Amino acid sequence: MEWPHKDLLDVGQLSREEAEHVFRTGRYFQEINARPVKKVPTLKGRTVVLFFAEPSTRTKTSFDMAAKRLSADTFSLAKSGSSLTKGESLKDTAWTLQAMSLDALVIRHQASGAAQYLAERLECSVINAGDGWHAHPTQALLDAFTLYQEWGSVQGKTILILGDIAHSRVARSNVQLLTMLGAKVRLCGPRTLMPSAVGGWPVEVGYNLDEAVRGVDAVMCLRLQLERQTSCLFPDGREYARSYCLGMRHLERANAGAKILHPGPINRGLEISSDVADCPDSLILDQVASGVAVRMALLFLYVTRKEVE
């Protein structure tokens, strides 16, 4: 497939065929990651800048590892170490980066739309690693890829997304991608942590976990986004855990062998119990491994796109 996109800003840009092409490419790189020598010269001489204006461990590390395993030169730029702290605008930062002749820019930013803003001004590919509450397309792709590795497809599967839906860009991107791929998506969480626009989403919405988990094939727990909450939206952590912490008793209501996912970092005992997080059907560490393979696939597709043109 000739890759038609310059940037990855949201999973809504992709067709089902394109998403599945990412998965096929990811499987190839997954095999490379299982070898004793994990490095290939695919992007040798190319430059990838990781611009993370928000804290990140998994996403930043996996992008850095993905680029290095493709033999690209990588440079990290954090807000605290950039001229943004000196008052430089994002526009001037974009022009400065443009002058450095990048091949790809991976950006995480607290402002929704920051990735699109830079994509409109840069000639290089821009990959959104999370912008505000808006989108986290690479997380959604690696989550779906993890399930594809287990099932071969998510077509007809019922997947529950549990927790802080309102503040989660992961939830928004996963709803969009999983429904496009043919899955049935349910949402569950406190009413105060459910977005007002959820009525227009192609999902089932519930507020009782015992009912929402019934008959599902997978549960994706979400992290409580306390840093994004400007008011008290639930009494306290103990009260939240009592109603929405996924435990083994809930899995008895799910389909046999239901898979467990969590984008991390995990707050054990608050969003998910330790026995569930560590159970044989947990795919949480598989998601981490999938993240490197999928991000290798994305860097390959977006950076080498110009060779095809």
User: Does 91 show up as a binding residue in the annotation?
Assistant: no
User: Does 108 show up as a binding residue in the annotation?
Assistant: yes
Query: What number of CA atoms fall less than 13 Å from residue 301's CA on the CB side?
Result: 27
User: Does 158 show up as a binding residue in the annotation?
Assistant: no
User: Does 156 show up as a binding residue in the annotation?
Assistant: no
Query: What number of CA atoms fall less than 13 Å from residue 289's CA on the CB side?
Result: 14
User: Does 199 show up as a binding residue in the annotation?
Assistant: no
Query: How far is residue 53's CA from residue 257's CA, in Å, rounded to a whole number?
Result: 39
User: Does 214 show up as a binding residue in the annotation?
Assistant: no
The 158-162 sheet, strands edge to edge: 204-206, 184-188, 158-162, 218-221, 259-261
User: Does 69 show up as a binding residue in the annotation?
Assistant: no
Query: How far is residue 300's CA from residue 178's CA, in Å, rounded to a whole number?
Result: 23
308 sits in the region (left: phi over 0; alpha: psi -120 to 50; else beta) called: alpha
User: Does 58 show up as a binding residue in the annotation?
Assistant: yes
User: Does 200 show up as a binding residue in the annotation?
Assistant: no
Residues, the chain, total? 309
Which residues line the annotated binding site?
Answer: 58-59, 86, 108, 136, 139, 169, 223, 264-265
Q: Residues annotated as binding site for L-aspartate?
A: 86, 169, 223
Numbered residues of the known binding site for carbamoyl phosphate: 58-59, 108, 136, 139, 264-265
